[in-house]
Structure 1
Amino acid sequence: MANDFKIAVVIPCYKVKDHILKVIEDIGDEVSAIYAVDDKCPDQSGEFILQNCTDKRVRVLFNEENQGVGGAVIHGYKVGLAEGADVFVKVDGDGQMDPSLIKLFVRPILRGEADYTKGNRFHEIEGLKPMPKIRLFGNAVLSFMTKFSSGYYKTFDPTNGYTAISAIALRKLPLDKVSKRYFFESDLLFRLNVVGAKVQDIPMDAVYGDEVSNLNIKKILMPFLKGNIKNLGKRIFYNYFLRGFSIASIELVLGALLFIFGVVYGAGAWYHSIATDTPATSGTVMLAALPIILGVQFLLSFIQADIQNQPTVALTRLLGDEHEERRDV
């Protein structure tokens, strides 16, 4: 089935000279095109590939300035879309991702079961042993942040860069607005939810060798938190107020208002009680506690509705028909 479609691999290249040739060599013949994007690499990875790689599928692209992993991948996406690729697989050039898994990543997309697939290193507990503890903790925290901001509550390991996406879903995304650096994968998930794309996790093992990662969990936690909070606000506004309005929208508004009122009123009453040395009456306590309780209930109901509102039908279900129409022409 894969032979009926053009599968392209995009490899962002930045300080990967020690591993990139082996990564390319291990990519199977199910892949039609390989875009190696030199992201203004100080080691001149692109020139290194041109001089040492004989694989005719490889096309080396160059960024005039360093744009980060997202900028490199988006460059590859745009060129691949222009050249008619149907599915894009993003593989890092540092040897941490097994190219033999490409078939697993593209299979749900080619079957019309998903628009975007991504690796999940947390699926098998035993497979997490090679992962450094700081990365394990950091990825877990980032995963919970991204669940809320993206709306894909069943996905995990959002910073996993092993992904595949259909051209149909890709064309619906505002690629120039997607975050260019380490927030790329998380921001992409948010934008996929906005266009109604179906996402599926692909279990995989964590692999760590002698490669040097440029990702510092300690430094990106706060930027990721800010980015996820921003995306959460935009997603809720788009999905529940701008493009649609439902009982969940009412639950969110009522829940937030009641909770805020209860907290503010309760804090004020508590401060007054302390300042005047006067015990609060039962009515005052109830007037603060009841809105908080009701607010929490409404907010929990909204979260439940939001969980059930994840896209369940793939945009890529039309991929086969589109391909047949293009081939007939």
Structure 2
Amino acid sequence: MTIAVVIPCYRVTRHILGVIAAIGPEVQRIYVVDDLCPDQSGALVRAECADPRVTVLEHKENQGVGGAVMTGYAAAIADGAEVIVKVDGDGQMDSNLIPRFVAPILEGEADYTKGNRFYDLEQIGSMPPLRLIGNAVLSLMTKLSSGYWDLFDPTNGFTAIHADAARRLPFARISRRYFFETDMLFRLNTLRAVVVDVPMDAVYGDEVSNLKISRIVTEFAAKHVRNFFKRLFYNYYLRNMSLASIELPLGVAMVLFGSIYGISHWLYSMRHDMVTPAGTVMVAALPLIMGTQLILAFLAYDIASVPRRPIHTKTLFRKHNA
């Protein structure tokens, strides 16, 4: 199978040549995407890199990492690549791990693989504390919005995807900036694609991150909420309906009723220095208890519904029989 590597480039001139040189012979094509880099990464690669596998693509406008990766995906698919690996150009990712990322896809076990720097507890100590806490919070939010409850480290950009899965993605709708990796998971879930974590070590050198946490906190939170409700609508009401489709709204309604009813009567009793009747307490408590149980039942169903059957295996089967 033809394996291609996509490398989005923005201010990575110190590392890009070393990243390309480290890519092994298992890769047949390399796409370097210059996202209007102020340091002209594309021009540097053209001038200094003699690797015949390399194709340099240049954006006339900066589109963000998501836009650069989509450009690389489109070029790789057009050239017949069957597995596409995305590697950052800043040297953080060990290119020797590419076979490990590709293997689950080639074996028909996954449509998309992504790195997980949290797998080895002994290695986590090398990760800056702010990134460690931030990734833990983002992972929880991503589980809710994407539906992939068994994944961690959502912002990890070391990924691989089968071309059949990539071909089905709505390239024009995927987030172009730093929300790209997380939005990819949401889009893949709507396709019922199988996503697998690949353990890897956390490596931090002298690279400079362009990500400013203070700028993206509100943006990420809003997009997570948007994707969460879109996923619920797609999976539980538009494409299919199940008992879980009833459990969630009914549970939320009961919790809201119990909370509002209980708080309002508690405040009334406080203002009038009265003892709240037992019946009033039960009317508030029972909906809270039952609503919480219904929400937990929905979460159990949602967790059990993580996609398990790769969507590209059918395509491979058809090709084999043809």
User: Considering the TM-score relative to the shorter chain, is it more than 0.5?
Assistant: yes
How far 1:244 sits from its partner (Å)? 0.6
How far 1:79 sits from its partner (Å)? 1.2
Residue 40, structure 1, aligned to residue 36, structure 2: yes
In the alignment, which residue of structure 1 is the partner of 2:195? 199
Q: 1:122 to 1:142 in 2, by over 3 A?
A: same
Residue 114, structure 1, aligned to residue 110, structure 2: yes
Pick from 308, 315, 321 the counterpart of residue 311 of structure 2.
Answer: 315
Residue 234, structure 1, aligned to residue 230, structure 2: yes
> Deviation string for 1:175-220 (max 9, x for gaps)?
1100001000101101101110000000000001111111233432
Letter in 2 for 1:42: P
How far 1:64 sits from its partner (Å)? 1.2
How far 1:57 sits from its partner (Å)? 0.6
Q: TM-score, normalised by structure 1?
A: 0.95
Residue 13, structure 1, aligned to residue 9, structure 2: yes
How far 1:274 sits from its partner (Å)? 2.3
Letter in 2 for 1:198: V
Q: TM-score, normalised by structure 2?
A: 0.97
Letter in 2 for 1:157: D
Determine if contact 1:112/1:318 at 8 Å carries over to the other structure: no
Letter in 1 for 2:263: A
> Deviation string for 1:84-105 (max 9, x for gaps)?
1101100000000000100000
Letter in 2 for 1:312: R
Of 301-310 and 214-223, the range deviating more from structure 2: 214-223
Determine if contact 1:10/1:89 at 8 Å carries over to the other structure: yes
Of 199-208 and 122-131, the range deviating more from structure 2: 122-131
How far 1:130 sits from its partner (Å)? 1.4
Per the alignment, in what secondary structure is the counterpart of residue 294 of structure 2?
helix
In the alignment, which residue of structure 2 is the partner of 1:174? 170
In the alignment, which residue of structure 2 is the partner of 1:31? 27
Can you give the 5+ residue segments of structure 1 that lack an aligned partner in the other structure? none
Task: State the alpha-carbon separation in 2 of the partners of residues 323 and 219 from structure 1.
Answer: 47
Q: 1:73 to 1:322 in 2, by over 3 A?
A: farther
Per the alignment, in what secondary structure is the counterpart of residue 117 of structure 1?
strand
Determine if contact 1:142/1:221 at 8 Å carries over to the other structure: no
Task: State the alpha-carbon separation in 2 of the partners of residues 125 and 319 from structure 1.
Answer: 38
In the alignment, which residue of structure 1 is the partner of 2:51? 55
Letter in 2 for 1:226: A
How big is the alpha-carbon RMSD for the aligned residues of Structure 1 and Structure 2? 1.2
Pick from 276, 282, 290 the counterpart of residue 286 of structure 1.
Answer: 282
Per the alignment, in what secondary structure is the counterpart of residue 201 of structure 1?
strand
Task: State the alpha-carbon separation in 2 of the partners of residues 269 and 313 from structure 1.
Answer: 50
1:63-74 matches, within 5 Å, as 63-74=59-70
Letter in 2 for 1:156: F
Pick from 110, 113, 129 the counterpart of residue 133 of structure 1.
Answer: 129
Can you give the 5+ residue segments of structure 2 that lack an aligned partner in the other structure? none
Residue 217, structure 1, aligned to residue 213, structure 2: yes
How far 1:264 sits from its partner (Å)? 1.3
How far 1:236 sits from its partner (Å)? 0.6
Task: State the alpha-carbon separation in 1 of the partners of residues 249 and 114 from structure 2.
Answer: 33
Pick from 298, 301, 312 the counterpart of residue 297 of structure 2.
Answer: 301
Letter in 2 for 1:219: R
Per the alignment, in what secondary structure is the counterpart of residue 89 of structure 1?
strand
> Deviation string for 1:45-64 (max 9, x for gaps)?
11111111101111011111
In the alignment, which residue of structure 2 is the partner of 1:82? 78
- Once superposed, which parts of structure 1, at least 4 consecutive aligned residues long, lie more than 4 Å away? 322-325
Q: Percent identity?
A: 56
How far 1:279 sits from its partner (Å)? 2.2
Letter in 1 for 2:236: Y
Per the alignment, in what secondary structure is the counterpart of residue 216 of structure 2?
helix
